[in-house]
Amino acid sequence: MPAIGFKYPNGEHISFEEIFEDGSLDLERMGIVLPMLRELAKQRPPDRKPSVTECLTGTCEAYLKRTEQYFIDPQEHAFALAGTLHHAKLERNADEDLSEISMEGMDITGIVDLYDEESNSLIDYKNAGSYKVAQALGLDFYLEDDPTGAVYLRKGKWGKKGDPKRVKRFWMNPEKADLGDWGWQINCYRYMLERQGKEIDNMYVQITVRDGGIQAARDRGVERKIYLIEVPYIHNDHIEEKFSLKRDALIEALRFKKLPEMCSEEETWGGKKCASYCDVREICPYVKETL
């Protein structure tokens, strides 16, 4: 029983049937046109095999999305939809045999955005905010005197009135670079492609920076709007262990209709996802316990 409808901005629910069959949508109140809602309403069979992305989310979240009825807040999926459209446009300009490759391995499914046979490169497209991009790049900074000779006009964080003004100089620190789940995702795709006989010499994520070009991004050292970042290799033993454990946990929960344990701190971004971003937070027993 996947998603069954949407939420209006005020929290009121409306079902897919009311929108797409009865024509009951209040378009002005929703503030989103029907083609976008149709894209967000697309569902996959609940009895499908686990996917790579499901194995990187909390098992409880994945289980509830497959077994319970819930309503989607379209506003929370704005960037995800933009990413989908971004992928679709790039796919139209790539060789159809080398883009959007569906795969399966370890009884897990996945879709590769692009495989370049000339360079044996696996490439995945991402849309992300500058905070995530700065983490992926490992951006660090040091302070130096402003080359203009400017001084502080009042006491501040890095000096007192009259001291030379300090400015940030950013550099990429490989020890701080953290791709997070992207690294696991791309390496799992590599693993699957290699099992299909593909040779992979390089892995990359191409990131479009959602807030690129504005001051908030520049303050984090993110100067460009598109980055191509190499993905470090993760040994196949670690890939097999991580994904097989998550696969088995979801399959077992579905088979016995047993609610998995609460998603981990890492999977819930320290609880932020439970508070504001998870689609099934309103029906999650663990979230209700904390309210």
- Identity of the amino acid at 94: A
Q: Report the candidate in 27, 53, 51, 38 with the shortest Cα–Cα distance to residue 3.
A: 38
* Nearby residues of 51 by Cβ (< 8 Å), 6 or more positions away: 108, 109, 110
Residue 154's pLDDT is what?
86
CB burial of 202-238 (b: ≥16 within 10 Å; e: otherwise) equals ebbbebbbbbbeeeebeebbbeeeebebebeebeeee
Tell me the two tokens of residue 130: 């500058």
Q: In a structure prediction context, what are the per-residue pLDDT tens digits for the chain, which is 291 residues long?
A: 589 999 999 999 999 999 999 999 999 999 999 999 999 999 888 889 999 999 999 999 999 999 999 999 999 988 877 766 665 666 665 565 566 788 899 999 999 999 999 999 999 999 999 999 999 999 999 999 988 989 888 888 878 888 889 889 999 999 999 999 999 999 999 999 999 999 999 999 999 999 999 999 999 999 999 999 999 999 999 999 999 999 999 999 999 999 999 999 999 999 999 999 999 999 999 998 775
**Rounded CA separation 215/44 (Å):** 39
Residue with tokens 């937070």: 281
Contact 123, 206 (CB under 8 A): yes
Position 96 scores a pLDDT of 58
Residues 6+ apart with CB under 8 A from 199: 120
CA distance linking residue 187 with residue 231, whole number of Å: 8
C-beta atoms surrounding 118 within 10 Å: 6
pLDDT at 151: 87
Beta bridge partners of 116: 121
* DSSP codes joined into one string, 30-87: H-S-HHHHHHHT----TTSPPBHHHHTS-HHHHHHHHHS-EEE-GGGGHHHHHHHHHH
CA neighbor of 239 nearest in space, from 203, 180, 199, 189: 189
